[in-house]
């Protein structure tokens, strides 16, 4: 439910509406706008209270109208927050008119590999450096990442090359550690519905990159974002990374590009695309990167490895440095064609 105040509503009238909402043990959110203030009710309203509450609020001085938010997610919805959310990290803005690229290896393997990747990302115009330190591997016998040492290397490389860092957190108990080393907390596809983890990152003010689970419907994904927003952290970037496929012979997942315009209509949060995990094969990554930018994605997160054939994880989908650099040049024209520019 959203209470739109009149343009000339006084601070006292706004306070009164908030107090009345809180008096019903509901969470009221004060959302000052350019011309007028709106007050949102973030809690679930008991069905028997809905009509009385609407009528009571409509009668209060300073109230223009009360509208119902029809969707299960509220804070993540455009109804609640019509303007695009901009996520800003160290001078890089995601969700504005520029398309932002994050790239780097799937996994941080050693200093040399990561620093070489960072140099290539920087020189090609990427703004974020990705790299996993704690990896969610299907098999417990596969390389699990360098752990804390990987986080330290990532921070060092980010500082040295002036890149914003993004890395996956799997366990909320590691939060303090990640806050010390990472600029953006990635919630991986497997953890999209790990509610304690979503709640924990929601209590920070660190930007969160929330990947879509491969079996998640769009509303489930937005409800996962709602968990983060409901704790007060509004710096959420959504990431489409492919859904369970019909055909596994040629691609790893199926990149759901229609999710980009759909989610940008339903929500104010920025949406980026990970073509690498969707395709599973470097050969399709450039085409799907271009398609994602054409579809209106606010950015891409791409796996790139200085030497993919030697990669410890996801080598088959990693772009070689030359292919990545070439793609970056070609994306300029695609972004321009849809009224955007590369950051």
Place of tokens 């489409």: 240
Least distance between ligand PEP and beta carbon 24 (Å): 39
Instruction: Return the number of the residue (62 or 188) whose C-beta is nearest ligand PEP.
Output: 188
> CA angle 27-31-34, nearest 5°?
170
Q: 209 and 183 in contact (C-beta within 8 Å)? A: no
Least distance between ligand PEP and beta carbon 190 (Å): 6
Q: Does 256 sit near Mn ion (CB under 5 A)?
A: no
| Residue 136 binds which entry of Mn ion, ligand PEP, none, CB below 5-8 Å type-dependent | ligand PEP
Strands 236-240 and 271-273: parallel
Least distance between Mn ion and beta carbon 151 (Å): 17
Q: Does 103 sit near Mn ion (CB under 5 A)?
A: no
Tokens of residue 307, six digits = 């030497």
Burial degree of 180 (CB within 10 A; 0-12, 13-18, 19+): exposed
Report 143-202 residues binding Mn ion (CB under 5 A). Answer: none
Contact residues toward ligand PEP (CB under 6 A) are 106, 132, 136, 168, 188-190, 211, 241, 274, 277
Instruction: Return the number of the residue (3 or 106) whose C-beta is nearest Mn ion.
Output: 106
Instruction: Return the number of the residue (67 or 143) whose C-beta is nearest ligand PEP.
Output: 143
Distance of CA 118 to the CA centre of its chain: 21
| Residue showing the smallest CB distance to ligand PEP in the complex | 188
3-class SS shares of the chain: helix, strand, coil, % to 5: 40, 20, 40
| Alpha-carbon separation of residue 81 from 35, 89, 224, 227, 264 (angstroms) | 14, 21, 17, 16, 12
Least distance between ligand PEP and beta carbon 132 (Å): 5
Q: Does 314 sit near Mn ion (CB under 5 A)?
A: yes
Bridge partners for 132 per DSSP: 107
Q: Does 311 sit near Mn ion (CB under 5 A)?
A: no
Instruction: Return the number of the residue (132 or 150) whose C-beta is nearest ligand PEP.
Output: 132
Tokens of residue 55, six digits = 């009528």
Instruction: Return the number of the residue (31 or 128) whose C-beta is nearest Mn ion.
Output: 128
Q: Binding residues for Mn ion, per CB under 5 A?
A: 106, 314
């Amino acid at each position: 439910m959203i209470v739109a105040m009149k343009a000339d509503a006084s601070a006292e009238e706004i306070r009164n509406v908030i107090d009345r909402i809180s008096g019903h043990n509901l969470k009221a959110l004060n959302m000052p706008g350019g011309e007028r203030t709106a007050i949102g009710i973030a809690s679930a309203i008991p069905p028997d209270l809905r009509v009385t509450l609407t009528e009571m609020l409509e009668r209060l001085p300073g109230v223009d109208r009360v509208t119902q938010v029809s969707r299960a997610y509220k804070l993540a919805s455009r109804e609640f927050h019509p303007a695009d959310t901009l996520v800003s990290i160290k001078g890089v803005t995601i969700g504005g008119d520029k398309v932002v690229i994050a790239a780097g290896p799937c996994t941080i393997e050693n200093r040399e590999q990561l620093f070489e990747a960072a140099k290539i990302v920087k020189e090609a115009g990427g703004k974020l450096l990705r790299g996993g330190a704690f990896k969610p591997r299907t098999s417990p016998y596969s390389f699990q990442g360098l752990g804390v040492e990987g986080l330290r290397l990532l921070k060092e490389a980010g500082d040295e090359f002036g890149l914003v860092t993004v890395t996956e957190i799997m366990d909320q108990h590691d939060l303090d550690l990640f806050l010390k080393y990472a600029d953006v907390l990635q919630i991986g596809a497997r953890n999209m519905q790990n509610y304690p983890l979503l709640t924990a990152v929601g209590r920070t003010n660190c930007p969160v990159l929330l990947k879509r689970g491969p079996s998640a419907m769009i509303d489930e994904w937005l409800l996962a974002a709602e968990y983060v927003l409901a704790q007060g952290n509004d710096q959420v970037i959504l990431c489409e990374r492919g859904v369970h496929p019909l055909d596994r012979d040629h691609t790893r997942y199926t990149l759901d590009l229609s999710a980009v315009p759909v989610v940008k209509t339903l929500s104010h949060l920025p949406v980026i695309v990970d073509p690498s995990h969707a395709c599973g094969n470097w050969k399709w990554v450039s085409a799907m990167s271009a398609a994602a930018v054409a579809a209106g994605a606010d950015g891409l997160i791409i796996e790139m490895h200085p030497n993919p054939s030697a990669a410890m994880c996801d080598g088959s989908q990693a772009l070689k440095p030359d292919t990545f650099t070439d793609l970056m040049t070609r994306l300029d024209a695609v972004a321009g064609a849809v009224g955007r520019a590369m950051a």
